Each structure stands twice: as C-alpha cells, then as structure tokens.
Amino acid sequence: MPISRAIAQQLENASWIRRMFEEGVRLKRERGAEAVFDFSLGNPDVEPPTAVIETLRRVVAGNRPGSHGYMPNPGYPEVRATIARKLARETGLDFVADDIFMTVGAAGACNVILKSLLDPGDEVIVLAPFFPEYQFYIGNHSGKMVLVDTDDEFLPDAEKIAAAITPRTRALILNAPNNPTGRIYPKRVLDEIGQMLSRVDHPVVVISDEPYKAFVYDGQHQPEVAASIANTAICNSWSKSLGLPGERIGYLALSPRLDGLAALRGACAFANRTLGYINAPAIWQRVINETADETINPAPYERKRNVLCDALKKIGYEVRPPEGSFYIFLKTPIADDVAFTRILAEQGVLAVPGVGFGRAGYIRLSLTIPLEQIQNSIGGFERAFLACNSRQC
C-alpha cells in the first residue's frame, strides 16, 4: 500500500533524535546495556513530586460522576481559570480563563495555534538551532518554515529576524530555555524583538514554546516572553516541570494583548477539536488544577550538568554550560558533526548531531541519564577526542 509522498519525504528527513535512540537499542543488544551511554533522548529521569502522585490517587479514588466524560473543547473552566491566575501573576498581564486552552502537551498547543493561523504557503520563522519537530508541525498545516540563525552565543538577532519577514510571515517561534542549546533569552533580547515586531506592517504572532521554563540553573530565571512581546501565544506543558512526558498534558495561552484576540479564541477552540485531540486528559486536568505550581527539583540535573561540563572541558572540548533545559550543545572537535557522532558511537556514547537541529559542528547531549552513567561515559568522550586530535578520524 503506497503511503503519501509528503510523509515519505518527511520520513527521509526524520528526527536524528529518534535515529540515535534506535541506534542505542541496537548497540545495547550487541554490547550490553552497561557498555552503552545514550545521551540522545530527553526523557526525564526524575519522578514527579509526591504532591502530584498523591493528588492523582485522590482524584482517581474520588471517581465523581462525570469524571471521565467530555468537557468543553478548551478544557474544564475551573482549570483554565487556575492557569490564567498563574500566568497573570507571572506576566503581570490580565489573563482570563477564556484565554486558556488545555491541550495534549505543548506539541498539541503548537499545532493548535499553527492550525489557527496558517493558510497554505504562509511562513513561520524558526531560529536555528531549533527543535526538529517544528518543521513537521508547520508542514502539518501547509506552512513554510523560514530559518534564521542565532548568533555565536545562540541568541536571537532582531535585525536578522526583521530581514526574514515577508507579507506571508504569520508567526515566529521562540523556545527558551532553548532545546538544544540551553540558552535563556534575556529580557533585553526579548524587548528588542518586541519593539521590532511592533513596527511590522501586519501582525506576527510569537509562539513562545516554554516546556523548559522551570528548568533553570545557577539561580537564574527565564524572563516572560509575553511581558515583552504583545502578540504572544504561550505553549507549555508539565512534561518536564513535573516529570510527566507520557501523560501529554499542557496548555495554550493567548496573551490578552493579541491582535484579533476574540477571533483567535474561537479558532483555537475549533482547531483543538478538529485536529482530533478533542480534549486534554480529564484526570490530568483535575490533577493540574491542584498542583499547577509544583515543580520537580532541577538540582539533580544541575549537578549532572556540572560533572559532565567540567569533565569535557578538562578533556579539551569547547563547552558552553546550559543555563536551562537539560541539554548540552557541545561543539565538536571536527567540523563534521555526523562523522564525530559515529566516532562517539564506536566508543559506546550516543549523541545527536547538530545538523539535525539546524547547526552543524555541534552535538546535543541529554542530561536525563543517571549520574553514574555520565561518569562512566567520560572515557569514551576522551578516546573520541584523542582520536580526532591524532588525525585518526
């Protein structure tokens, strides 16, 4: 049975993250799990807070009539009101329940807002390096991804973004703390983007993808995108902040300052239904209503970041420690990041080449593997580095 040409082409360009994960499965089968160190997939290894699990037990045990039935397309009104109050506290903006749409994770939120905004051929600006699934989310809705490079420190440049805007530009995706670089976007940078967009002759919506917002280190914080940029739609989830990636619970929030807010509210409610998500999981909406302010402790990831970055620096790698998220975007000792990824794999270390994120010459390492495995992997990183320096690669 032939599959669609579009899907066939997308499969050819499929995510390097999954490819390396599958390579890890193969190597573990051949060498044994203890000899393979898989840094490819960002699957949180810190369990949800006790308060979340206790609330889940109580909600399930309560089994109130209608607990498992449909609710309004945007989600339970009381849950949306809780999220609106939380966002109002954080941003200083007057969010209300009607601005909130409970979604199947942040990925669902991204697809809902893109479906609501795009006509075929409309453009979405994405900053490189970028989360690879963005290209497919945009393609899902017949849009065109337009890549704009960040600077050498992985920060957005408002002038470069302005130069990429055309009459077909409908959105700009910002992701901070960033996957894969771990960069926090400072308020100064966000203000510059907001000021630039205010001068554009048509509305451009900033889609702020924020699943790593709670994952920051060294006492820092990620400034609020919606506070700096008027036309902002927030996509967020509790996959990382509560260690719940498999539960697929998140939200889309439309800034009260968005142009055409009333029409966009209606479009998002419609898209949330017609994309097939129908509703975010009912039980998890009720759990989140009581635990929305809970977060897992990022300290274990910060410790793993410090151990790995310090070791890599001692070996001789050029390392920029991430300010947030749970990834390290490591510069490779040779220009060909795909070739270096293969060299690492020979040493039992699995990483994702930067070319899959739109920035060659780097690899992404996930900090979601146990600390002991990180420590045991250091020898593999060193052997790969020495092999390149001795011109054996």
- Mean pLDDT, the chain, integer: 92
Average pLDDT over residues 57-79: 89
Q: What is the 3-state secondary structure (H, E, C) of the chain?
A: CCCCHHHHHHHHCCCHHHHHHHHHHHHHHHHCHHHCEECCCCCCCCCCCHHHHHHHHHHHHHCCCCCCCCCCCCCCHHHHHHHHHHHHHHHCCCCCHHHEEEECHHHHHHHHHHHHHCCCCCEEEEEECCCCHHHHHHHHCCCEEEEEECCCCCCCCHHHHHHHCCCCEEEEEEECCCCCCCCCCCHHHHHHHHHHHHCCCCCCEEEEECCCCCCECCCCCCCCHHHHCCCEEEEEECCCCCCCHHHCCEEEEECCCCCCHHHHHHHHHHHHHHCCCCCCCHHHHHHHHHHCCCCCCCHHHHHHHHHHHHHHHHHCCCCCCCCECCEEEEECCCCCHHHHHHHHHHCCEECEEHHHHCCCCEEEEECCCCHHHHHHHHHHHHHHHHHHHCCCC
Asked if residue 392 has pLDDT above 60, the reply is: no
Confidence of residue 14 (pLDDT cuts 50, 70, 90): low
Strands 37-38 and 205-209: unpaired
Euclidean distance between CA atoms 223 and 232, whole angstroms? 14
Buried b (16+ CB within 10 A) or exposed e, 273-309: eebebebbbbebbbbbbbbbebbbebeebbebbeebb
Count of CA atoms in the C-beta half-sphere (13 A) of 90: 20
Asked if residue 15 has pLDDT above 70, the reply is: no
Higher pLDDT, 28 or 329: 329
pLDDT at 95: 98
pLDDT at 3: 73
Q: Mind listing the pLDDT tens digit for each residue in 225-269?
A: 999 999 999 999 999 999 999 899 999 999 999 999 999 999 999
- Domains for the chain: give ranges and CATH numbers: 5-48+297-389 (3.90.1150.10), 64-291 (3.40.640.10)
> C-alpha 336: how far from its chain's center?
25
Euclidean distance between CA atoms 381 and 343, whole angstroms? 9
Going 263 to 266 to 271 to 272, the CA torsion angle's sign is positive
Asked if residue 393 has pLDDT above 70, the reply is: no
Q: Which residues contact 30 (CB under 8 A, 6 or more apart)?
A: none
Going 251 to 256 to 262 to 267, the CA torsion angle's sign is negative
Average pLDDT over residues 72-97: 97
Average pLDDT over residues 363-391: 92
Higher pLDDT, 66 or 196: 196
pTM metric for this prediction: 0.94
Q: Please choose, from the candidates 204, 185, 183, the residue with its C-alpha nearest in 3D space to the C-alpha of residue 195.
A: 204
Q: Mind listing the pLDDT tens digit for each residue in 102-152?
A: 999 999 999 999 999 999 999 999 999 999 999 999 999 999 999 999 999
pLDDT at 391: 58
DSSP-assigned letter for residue 356: G
Confidence of residue 101 (pLDDT cuts 50, 70, 90): very high
Q: Mind listing the pLDDT tens digit for each residue in 264-311?
A: 999 999 999 999 888 899 999 999 999 999 999 999 999 999 999 999
